[in-house]
Chains A and B, each alone.
Chain A
Amino acid sequence: MNGGAVWWVFFYALSAFTLFNALLVVTGKNLFKCALHLMLVFLGVAGLFLLQGAFLLAGVQTLIYTGGVTTLILFAIMLSEEVVGRQRQLVSRGVSIGISAAICFLGIALTIFGTAVAQLPENYGVHIAPVAQFVAEASHLPMGNVRAVGVALLTQFLVPFEFASVLLVVAVIGAIVIARLAGGK
Chain B
Amino acid sequence: MSLTQLCERLLNWTGLPVEVWVGLVVAVIIFLFMTVIVLAVVYLFRKFAGFIQLRLGPRYVGPRGVLQTVCDAVKLLAKEDIIPAEADKGIFIAAPLIVFLPAYLAYIVIPFGQPPHFQPKDLNLGILYVLAITSITVVGIITAGWASGSKWATIGGMRSGAQLISYEVPMSLAVLVPVLISGSLSMKDIAEMQGDRIWYWNAFNISYFGLAFIAFVIYMICALAETNQIPFDLPEAESELVAGYNVEYSGMRFAFFFLAEFSNLFVVCAIATTLFLGGWYAPLPFLPDDGFWSLLWFMLKTLTLVFIVLWIRSTYPRVRIDQLMEFAWKRLFPIALIDLGIVSLIVALR
When the two chains form their complex, are residues A78 and B146 in contact, meaning their CB atoms are under 8 A apart?
Answer: yes
List which B158-192 residues lie within 8 A (CB) of chain A: 158, 161, 165, 168, 184-186
* Cα-based distance from A66 to B165 in the complex (angstroms): 13
* Cα-based distance from A87 to B90 in the complex (angstroms): 15
Q: Which of A58, A66, A75, A146 contacts B161 (CB 8 A)?
A: A75
When the two chains form their complex, are residues A71 and B165 in contact, meaning their CB atoms are under 8 A apart?
Answer: yes
When the two chains form their complex, are residues A56 and B128 in contact, meaning their CB atoms are under 8 A apart?
Answer: yes
- Residues A63 and B132 in contact in the complex (CB < 8 Å), given A32-B146, A146-B124, A146-B125: yes
Instruction: Give 1 or 0 for each of A47-89: 1 = CB within 8 Å of chain B CB.
Output: 0000000011011101100111011001100100001100100
B138 CB-CB contact with A under 8 Å = yes
List which A24-55 residues lie within 8 A (CB) of chain B: 30, 32-33, 36, 39, 55
With a cutoff of 8 Å between Cβ atoms, the chain B residues found around residue A67 in the complex are 132, 135-136, 138-139, 168
Number of A-B contacts defined by CB within 8 Å: 82
Q: Which residue of B lies closest to A84 (CB)?
A: B151
When the two chains form their complex, are residues A71 and B139 in contact, meaning their CB atoms are under 8 A apart?
Answer: yes
CB distance from B186 to the nearest CB of A (A): 7
Please classify how large the interface on chain A is, using the bins under 10, 10 to 19, 20 to 34, 35 or more.
20 to 34
With a cutoff of 8 Å between Cβ atoms, the chain A residues found around residue B184 in the complex are 143
- Residues A59 and B125 in contact in the complex (CB < 8 Å), given A33-B90, A66-B136, A75-B158: yes
With a cutoff of 8 Å between Cβ atoms, the chain B residues found around residue A30 in the complex are 88
* Cα-based distance from A56 to B142 in the complex (angstroms): 27
CB distance from A11 to the nearest CB of B (A): 16
* Cα-based distance from A68 to B146 in the complex (angstroms): 18
When the two chains form their complex, are residues B90 and A66 in contact, meaning their CB atoms are under 8 A apart?
Answer: no
B94 CB-CB contact with A under 8 Å = yes
With a cutoff of 8 Å between Cβ atoms, the chain A residues found around residue B128 in the complex are 56, 59-60, 63
Q: Which residue of A lies closest to B184 (CB)?
A: A143
CB distance from A179 to the nearest CB of B (A): 13
Please name 15 pairs of A and B residues whose Cβ atoms are closer than 8 Å in the assembled complex, sorted by A. Answer: A6-B17, A36-B91, A56-B128, A59-B128, A63-B131, A66-B139, A67-B132, A67-B139, A70-B139, A74-B142, A74-B146, A75-B158, A83-B151, A84-B86, A143-B186
The residues of A with any CB-CB pair to B shorter than 8 Å are 6, 30, 32-33, 36, 39, 55-56, 58-60, 62-63, 66-68, 70-71, 74-75, 78, 83-84, 87, 142-143, 145-146
